[in-house]
A = this chain, B = another copy of it.
């Protein structure tokens, strides 16, 4: 009978409009801008849509409106715990909004990033979240030419493309070293892996702090381009102590490395913190329950993700944030592994019974 209805009860906007007794365009408006409808029609369309179980066809919408409701996210790694927290924040913040997340992995390659960016931009995303501030010239140009809001996450720096949210890895590293100085440490080693731009900036912070104190020594630094792991932390630390037997602290570029260093100390019967202090970076969950508990620099990863997505969505909908650059800061969480040296005690197992302590140096910008 109804010739307008296509085969097999497929529910289109037209069906909803028909049932509601309005034109398709009015029904369409209901989904995009319900305020523009009179209350009567609004409720009619709403109940018609519900009754028919209408689900909009996103492809048609994208084609007609020349834009998508996709937020592209470019991160360098899916394995790294740090990014899984950020991602969780992004997904949580986008949930309930009309936007869906399209995730891609650059594998720490800015060339790969450039390629993916080109791909994304061609699909006219509603917004983009990219990691870091080190893009290729070409990527940078594409980002600047893009006609959608963009958030750079994980760190802050000069010349944001658009919005930016993160913290200073340089300052965070300096704060960690300052903490070690305060505990009386002088021969502080640096252990780093992967050496992506953010780890590099942590190293820069370490170098600056050491130089300022007149304690810099190139031989205290051990790094590798190899992806990070707990095992690698142990191996790098082994290299370090083989070369420099007098170190009294190790600053690790991340927590996995720190855990590896802790295990290696245990393997070698090196008392922590009495002989060597350990400080990690990121403050993953396990740091608080290691024995001894491990000092780390806490970063607000979940918030970084959720705030980035929230800011982006606001910007997409026209409400640009007053402050496009957001410094989320960091916090040095002081734990047993970096306590001041005490007179050498017998390093027996089970010595570290005292409760976890959380006196902290904060940086809340």
A: which residues have CB within 8 A of B? 55, 57-60, 62-63, 68, 78-79, 81, 84-85, 87-88, 91, 100-105, 119, 122-123, 229-231, 233-234, 256, 259-260, 263, 266-269, 271, 285-286, 288-291, 347-350, 352-353
Contacts and interface: CB of A to CB of B under 8 A. Distances in A.
6 contacts: A55-B119, A88-B105, A231-B289, A256-B286, A263-B289, A267-B352
A243 to B, nearest CB: 20
A79 B68 contact: no
A237 to B, nearest CB: 11
Contact of A55 (B122, B266, B350, B352): B122
B285 A263 contact: no
Given A78-B87, A231-B285, A353 B267 contact: yes
Given A63-B63, A230-B286, A260-B289, A266 B88 contact: no
B84 A349 contact: no
Contacts of A348: 269, 348-349
Given A57-B63, A59-B68, A78-B87, 9 more contacts: A59-B59, A60-B63, A79-B85, A230-B285, A231-B285, A231-B289, A256-B286, A266-B349, A348-B348
A290 B269 contact: no
A263 to B, nearest CB: 5
A299 to B, nearest CB: 15
A267 B123 CA distance: 55
Given A63-B63, A78-B91, A88-B78, A269 B350 contact: yes
A58 B123 contact: yes
A100 B79 CA distance: 19
A17 B81 CA distance: 47
A285 B79 CA distance: 11
A46 to B, nearest CB: 18
A267 B230 contact: no
Contacts of A119: 55
Contacts of A79: 84-85, 88
A63 B62 CA distance: 9
Given A57-B63, A349-B348, A230 B81 contact: no
A-B pairs, top 5 by smallest CB distance, nearest first, are A269-B350, A59-B62, A55-B122, A230-B286, A231-B289
Contacts of A259: 286
Contacts of A63: 57, 59-60, 63
